[in-house]
């Protein structure tokens, strides 16, 4: 039975025709879906707004200008928390993430409400080799920054967050507003004691002729990730004694 306190949250910036397809698939899989339009100018939100007018389970929120994925997610989380929601499954608007897997991820969140449910991508042959190899670097850093507390994949945005802890963390942190959101959210939630639970999920990389839209820029976004990992490593230093104690305690509990 769907959890009435959990919703699907889809941030969107100029996502093209795939947005309404993604929304329809998510809506078929879950009773509450919110879309946060992050200053889009391509008109992709128009069919979603039209669908929402006749669907009480679908809502469209909007930011006046493009502020970044993390900022869009935070806007949606704050609105959801104000209405009593406790968990949010985030997914991309471009058709990469598997809407059919939403119920399984929500079920895992219901079974472990204090955890975060992290998707681990199962890549197909369409996955760009540079992207697959590049994420291994970010995953290596995230593993180091948490002393191996179990983040299966730091970059995959298909995941369920407990809303309260994440909103508190982002409220104290000026970063995490753009492409750095997903990895930093996972690391900082680990630091806050939120346990990661990893679940495999297929991922698709759509070609432009299939409607695929990507705003990833290798130079700009890799520079952003590099700066993020530098500040996380600095943040790790004063947390090191506590994280070491936590790691030892986890090892003592293991059979």
Mean pLDDT of the chain: 89
Average pLDDT, stretch 207-233? Answer: 70
- CA 231-121-252 angle, to 5 degrees, is 65
Average pLDDT, stretch 86-94? Answer: 95
Give the pLDDT confidence score for residue 156 in this predicted structure: 93
Cα–Cα distance measured from residue 214 to residue 206, given in angstroms and rounded to the nearest whole number? 9
Confidence class for position 218, pLDDT limits 50, 70, 90: low
User: pLDDT per residue over 175-214, tens digit each?
Assistant: 888 878 999 999 999 999 999 999 999 988 766 555 555 5
Cα–Cα distance measured from residue 255 to residue 244, given in angstroms and rounded to the nearest whole number? 19
Confidence class for position 255, pLDDT limits 50, 70, 90: low
User: pLDDT per residue over 120-161, tens digit each?
Assistant: 999 877 766 766 777 888 899 999 999 999 999 999 999 999
CA dihedral 237, 198, 59, 175 (to 10 degrees): 10
Average pLDDT, stretch 245-253? Answer: 71
Which is more confident, 179 or 16?
Answer: 16
List the single range of 76-85, 93-102, 155-164, 219-228 with lowest mean pLDDT.
219-228
Give the pLDDT confidence score for residue 168 in this predicted structure: 97
Among 215, 224, 241, 216, which residue's Cα sits nearest to residue 180?
Answer: 224
Residues sharing a CB contact under 8 Å with residue 64, sequence separation 6 or more, in sequence order: 39
Count the neighbouring beta carbons within 10 Å of the beta carbon of residue 108: 16
Cα–Cα distance measured from residue 156 to residue 103, given in angstroms and rounded to the nearest whole number? 18
pTM above the 0.75 mark?
yes
Length of the chain: 255
Give the pLDDT confidence score for residue 194 in this predicted structure: 96
Which is more confident, 86 or 123?
Answer: 86
Give the pLDDT confidence score for residue 217 in this predicted structure: 55
Average pLDDT, stretch 241-252? Answer: 77
What CATH class does 6-253 carry? alpha beta
pLDDT at 112 over 60: yes
Confidence class for position 242, pLDDT limits 50, 70, 90: confident
Give the pLDDT confidence score for residue 222 in this predicted structure: 67
Confidence class for position 162, pLDDT limits 50, 70, 90: very high
């Amino acid at each position: 039975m769907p959890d009435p306190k959990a919703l699907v949250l889809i941030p969107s910036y100029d996502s093209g025709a795939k947005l309404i397809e993604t929304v329809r698939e998510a809506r078929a899989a879950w009773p509450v879906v919110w879309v946060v339009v992050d200053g889009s100018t391509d008109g992709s939100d128009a069919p979603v707004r039209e669908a929402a007018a006749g669907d009480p389970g679908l809502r469209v929120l909007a930011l006046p200008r493009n502020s970044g994925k993390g900022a869009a997610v935070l806007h949606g989380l704050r609105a959801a928390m104000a209405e009593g929601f406790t968990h949010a499954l985030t997914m991309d608007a471009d058709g990469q993430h598997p809407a059919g897997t939403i119920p399984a991820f929500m079920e895992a969140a219901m079974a472990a409400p204090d955890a975060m449910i992290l998707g681990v991508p199962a890549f197909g042959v369409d996955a760009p080799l540079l992207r697959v190899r590049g994420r291994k670097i970010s995953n290596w850093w995230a593993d180091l920054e948490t002393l191996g507390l179990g983040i299966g994949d730091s970059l995959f945005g298909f995941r369920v967050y407990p809303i309260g802890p994440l909103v508190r963390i982002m409220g104290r942190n000026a970063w995490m507003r753009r492409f750095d959101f997903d990895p930093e959210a996972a690391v900082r939630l680990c630091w806050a004691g939120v346990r990661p639970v990893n679940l495999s999920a297929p991922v698709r990389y759509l070609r432009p002729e299939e409607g695929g839209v990507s705003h990833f820029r290798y130079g700009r976004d890799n520079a952003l990730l590099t700066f993020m990992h530098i500040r996380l490593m600095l943040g790790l230093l004063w947390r090191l004694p506590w994280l070491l104690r936590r790691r030892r305690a986890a090892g003592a509990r293991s059979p």
